[in-house]
Amino acid sequence: MAISYNERERVFRLDTPRTTYLIGLADEAGFPAHIYYGRRIPDDDMRYLLDAPDTPYGSSREQVSFLGRLPSEYPGSGRGDFREPCLRAETAEGYGACCLTYVSHRIFGGKPPLEGLPATYGGAEDCATLELVCRDEDMGLEAHLYYTAFERLDAVCRSAKLVNVGAGPLRLTQALSACLDMDGQDMDVITLHGRWASERMIQRRPLAWGKQGAGSQRGISSHEANPFIALAEHTATQSRGMVYAMNFVYSGNFLAQAEMGQEGRVRLIMGIHPAGFGWRLAPGEAFQTPEAVLVCSDAGLGGMSRTFHDLYRQHLVRGPYKDKPRPSLVNNWEATYFDFDTEKLLAIARVAAEAGVEMLVMDDGWFGRRDSDTCSLGDWTVNERKLPGGLPYLVGEVNKLGMKFGIWMEPEMVSPDSELYRAHPDYALQIPGRAPALSRGQLVLDMSRREVRDHVYEQIRRVLSSANIEYVKWDMNRPLTDAASPALGPDRQGELAHRYMLGVYELQERLLRDFPHILLENCSAGGGRFDPGMLYYSPQIWTSDNTEAIDRLKIQEGTALVYPLSSMGAHVAACPSHTNGRVTPFATRGLVSLPGCFGYELDLTKLSDGERAMIPGQLADYKNYGWVFRTGDYYRLASYGENGTHDALMAVSKDRRVAVLDYVQVLSRRTERTLLLHPEGLDEGRYYRRLDTGDIRSGAGWMYGGVPMPRLEGDFAGCLVVLEAADH
């Protein structure tokens, strides 16, 4: 088993294939303390690394500095540790000091689910779990700290269940999921920042004194930040160096922070953002934190990325599309916006079917009186003025063409100009006596309330039951504001944001339970909720509303730093770009979209004959090589975000027989020197044929000698290079 306990040393050991994580019980009191996380080591006696005072805590005159120095696994507050805590709690009298000590533990195979929350999963053959029970006796608060170590992946997953074991009520004001105290010398902090249409931009900066990181208080993981943070050795590259990363399996408010303290130690923490958070625990009640995924890589950022990708593909994504190819599709949004009817959609579908596209997705505008974004959210009934015969007729006609049918919905929102809002204005999040703030002309439904969720779901269920719908794009286009609920008492309003998220998770779980055949794709005004929590319900997420190919290079690179290529919705969009007006070749737009979940976001009936003729070839590439991107190992060979001129990624099949290199020349090169790209992940002793030239070389030859890129004319050009195993 990957987890063991050395009773003599009082040390817990978690082993993955290449890493070791050690936890010790410090002092006679048994404070859970961090000892080591890094490359795998065989030694049992590593307790000497535990940096704690020798003087027993109970008899020390410096108890405050003892806790302030201790590398804690789950630090409390108010007792001497003045760094960011994982846990803050108050008694009914308002007293807030808390500190946890060991009570008991158990080690078992497999991984328990987290009630109501998304989480990674695995059986006894995949992983083992440590449940470390700690308590603050004076406060009557117990913490069950869960650690799961995976047998074949270098990942450790952490969460905490906080239980009121006392006689009076408690109030949690901070309940994070994980803490990692470690040496912080010569480290960089890596986060993913952004905004709408420019999500998940990679930011790397030297770790400095104080606090740095990322967070969201928008009720969603957000465009502006992503629930990911990493510490990397200053010299770490894509292929070498130590990297320590955390990713949060949650889709709401979060805090991801690195704090460099006075002694040069860094505290890395992750969890629900404490701003505005409060959770009342009556005696016997428990609060479960979401899960944080920890990855340690000694193979640089690339090793970190591949671990996250494998973990999420194998132990987070669920359903029939976990391992199946995703259908190619055409979405009518940039083709028509709200101006469409049945015949216009079928005209697009006919061209798509002739070219080999597998699905038509009808986007916003099919319901209520929805001819603009000013009305009808919440009224999920078909507008038969646009769609005579409703969904049964339209879907039937699309199916006759040999295509699947998908539909767009935004279930969490309501328009003030809607039948739902006129009947139930109280269903929207709002503070009594204050007019709620609009965003995109809409309000947010109170998903913390059962009656609201039931009303919304019944409408969804009727729509999805009315025709052969095989795909749903679930959108969410604004942050949470006026976040209050009449269903919660005055002392429980701090629970609203988390209860909202639990309600959304429950809705999506109901949809998957009742319609298990449906491919669900999440979206939030583009990439505003691209996180592991959403991946638990939908195997793919719309990456960004910015579909322009050159901008997408940076967006998709930042996304792939953590999330598998199979999770990224990526479409060939209209040109000039509706986002920035840039003109890029149709072929290059196809190359940029190929590594993701491939589709088209334009009016196929308006393409030139030359562009339309390219579609079968693009679809053939997606069919022939999409599986390599979807299931293989990802390598970043060149970064347009770093070099400003070109971009290249490679995927290598797990059996290392096929490698696909996707290259984009952003700016033309005024040089005679041939650009060489150096693949990774090939079998050195195997020979590979380059399909476009017929050249055959060993894996070592291609990797160390390099793959020459063809000379391409002009800006925004690209090519696909495929290496296949060959007999020699």
CA distance 270 to 532: 14
Q: Count CB neighbours of 388 within 10 A.
A: 12
Catalytic residue, chosen from 181, 310, 363, 545, is 545
**How far is C-alpha 553 from the chain's CA centre?**
18
Q: Which residues contact 617 (CB under 8 A, 6 or more apart)?
A: none
CA distance 175 to 288: 9
- Active-site residue flag, 475: yes
Both tokens assigned to 473: 């794009």
By residue count, the chain amounts to 728
Both tokens assigned to 354: 């002739």
Strands 568-573 and 597-601, bridge-based pairing: parallel
CA distance 377 to 384: 16
Helix then strand then coil, % of the chain, to nearest 5: 25, 35, 45
Amino acid at 414: V
Q: CB–CB of 316/249 below 8 Å?
A: yes
Q: CB–CB of 371/415 below 8 Å?
A: no
Give the DSSP letter of residue 553: H
The Cα-based distances of 644 to 193, 195, 604, 666 in angstroms read 19, 20, 32, 8
Phi-psi region of 186 (alpha: psi -120 to 50; beta: other; left: phi over 0): left
User: Within a 13 Å sphere around the CA of 106, how many CA atoms are in the beta-carbon half?
Assistant: 6
Give the DSSP letter of residue 702: I
**How far is C-alpha 665 from the chain's CA centre?**
28
Q: CB–CB of 267/259 below 8 Å?
A: yes
Amino acid at 380: W
657: closest CA among 618, 685, 637?
Answer: 685
Q: CB–CB of 333/410 below 8 Å?
A: no
Catalytic residue, chosen from 15, 298, 475, 621, is 475
CA distance 159 to 174: 14
CA distance 487 to 450: 10
CA distance 700 to 514: 51
Burial group, residue 422, by CB count within 10 angstroms (0-12, 13-18, 19+): exposed
CA distance 342 to 558: 38
Q: Which residues contact 353 (CB under 8 A, 6 or more apart)?
A: 401, 402, 403
- Active-site residue flag, 188: no
Q: Which helix (H) or strand (E) holds 397?
A: helix 390-400
600: closest CA among 365, 326, 405, 352?
Answer: 352
| Helix residue ranges, H only, 82-140 | none
SS3 string, 481-545, reads CCCCCCCCCHHHHHHHHHHHHHHHHHHHHHHHHHCCCCEEEECECCECCCCHHHHCCCCEEECCC
Q: Which residues are catalytic?
A: 475, 545
